[in-house]
Amino acid sequence: MTVDTNSTPVILTGDRTTGPLHLGHYVGSLKTRVALQSTHRQFLLLADSQALTDNAHDPAKVQQNVLEVALDYLAVGIDPELTTICLQSHLPALAELTLLYMNFVTVSRLERNPTIKDEIQARGFGRDIPAGFLCYPVAQAADITAFKATVVPVGEDQAPLIEQTNEIVRRINRQVGRDVLMEAKALIPAIGRLPGVDGKSKMSKSQGNAIPLSASPSEISDAVRRMFTDPNHLRASDPGKVEGNVVFTYLDAFDEDRTAVEALKAHYRGGGLGDMAVKRRLDDILQTLVAPIRARRAILARDPGHILTMLRRGTQNARRVTQATLDEVRNALGLFQLNADPDAF
Ligand code: TRP
C-alpha cells in the first residue's frame, strides 16, 4: 500500500462475474476506478456470490468469468499495487454481515427497490423469486459497509442499491446508538447508462448488444456498422436526429473533442451529413480506445497463474478488513462474546 490507509477515503465497487466486461462498464465505472485508485484506498469485488443469485442454474458461467473480469480490470489499467481485487465468495464475513443486516430490512422494502423490481421483470421471475435474489441488496450493503467504503463508483441503475445500503446503515446505527457503520455515496458518471448498439435498453452481454473490452477490430467495426441511428435519415442530404441516435450517444461518451462532436451534430441536424461519415469517426475512436486494452489483456491472459496469485493476495487482505468490521458490528449489536481476543473467535 502506498497510500495512508487511515485517512484516505475508501472505495468499494464490484461486478457480477457473469461475462467479460464491455464498453458500458468502461464509461460507467472502470474509467473512474482507474482515475481514483491513486487518491483512494480502493477495493474491487469480483461478485461471484451475487452472480449466483440469478445464475444458480449455471455456476460454470459464474466460475469461468472470475478470471475474465479480473483480466478486464488489469487490462484497463487497474493496478493491483494500488487497488485490492478480491473474490466475494471467499470472504465469509460478508455472508455473516448479510445475515445480521437482514433483521434491519423488510421484505416489502426489498420488493419496492426499483432496481430489484426491474430485474425481477426482466428475468420473468413472477412470484418465483429466489430469496437470495430478493435479498442481494442486503448482501451488497454488507459488501459496501464491510470495507467502510464511503465512495461507490457505479452505473446509475445501482443508485437505489446504495440508497438501500444507507437505510440499513442508519437503522443499525440508530439501534446501537452510535455510528458503527458509515453511509456511502454513489459516484455516477454524467453520461448515464450507455445504450446497446441496437439503441434498446442498456448495453448488456445477454441482450447481444454489447461491445466487449476484448473486441477484435472487426467486431468493433461490425458493431458500429449495425448501430442504430435515425430511421428517418434516409439520404445524407436529409436533416437527421441526434437524440436517441446511438452513434452520437457514443461520440458523447467516447470522443474527447467536444467541439468537433458539437459541429458534427449541427451538421447532421441541418442535413448533408451521412451516417457513414459519423460512423467512420466513431469506429476510429473505439478502435484507438480498445486496441491497447485488447493487447494488454492478451499478454496477461498468457499467465493465469500470475492473476491467481494477485487474486489470492487481494482476497487475503480483504478478509482481514471485512472480518474486523464483522467483529465490530457483532459487538455493537450486543451479541454474546465468547472471547475477548477477536482472533480466537
Ligand atoms: N450489483 C453490482 C452489479 O450488478 C455488483 C456489485 C456487487 C457491487 N457488490 C457491489 C457494486 C458493491 C457496488 C458495490 O454490477
300 lines ligand 1 (CB under 6 A): no
- With 0.85 as the threshold, say if the pTM is over it: yes
13 lines ligand 1 (CB under 6 A): yes
* Cell, residue 246: 446511438
14 lines ligand 1 (CB under 6 A): yes
Q: Which tens digit of pLDDT belongs to each residue from 208-243?
A: 899 999 999 999 999 999 999 999 998 999 999 999
The larger pLDDT score, comparing residue 2 to residue 196, is at 196
Q: Which tens digit of pLDDT belongs to each residue from 46-84?
A: 999 999 999 999 999 999 999 999 999 999 999 999 999
Residue 340 has pLDDT above 80, yes or no: no
144 lines ligand 1 (CB under 6 A): yes
- DSSP secondary structure string for all residues of 68-91: HHHHHHHHHT--TTTEEEEEGGG-
- 46 forms beta bridges with 15, 87
Strands (E), the chain: 10-16, 41-47, 83-87, 151-153, 185-187
pLDDT at 3: 45
Q: Which tens digit of pLDDT belongs to each residue from 114-128?
A: 999 999 998 899 889
Mutate to test the pocket of ligand 1, among 11, 18, 45 (most ligand atoms within 8 A of CB): 45
CA distances for 243 relative to 26, 156, 247, 261, angstroms? 22, 19, 10, 13
230 lines ligand 1 (CB under 6 A): no
pLDDT at 82: 97
Question: Using CA atoms, how far apart are residues 18 and 21, in angstroms rounded to an integer?
Answer: 9
**Cβ neighbours, 10 Å, residue 280:** 13
Q: Which tens digit of pLDDT belongs to each residue from 177-219?
A: 999 999 999 999 887 789 999 988 788 887 889 999 999 999 9
* Sign of the CA dihedral running 143, 146, 147, 153: positive
Which atom of ligand 1 is found nearest the CA of 158?
Answer: 1
Residue 1 has pLDDT above 60, yes or no: no
Query: Which pLDDT band, with edges at 50, 70 and 90, does 283 fall under?
Result: very high
15 lines ligand 1 (CB under 6 A): yes
Pick the residue whose CA is nearest to atom 8 on ligand 1: 14
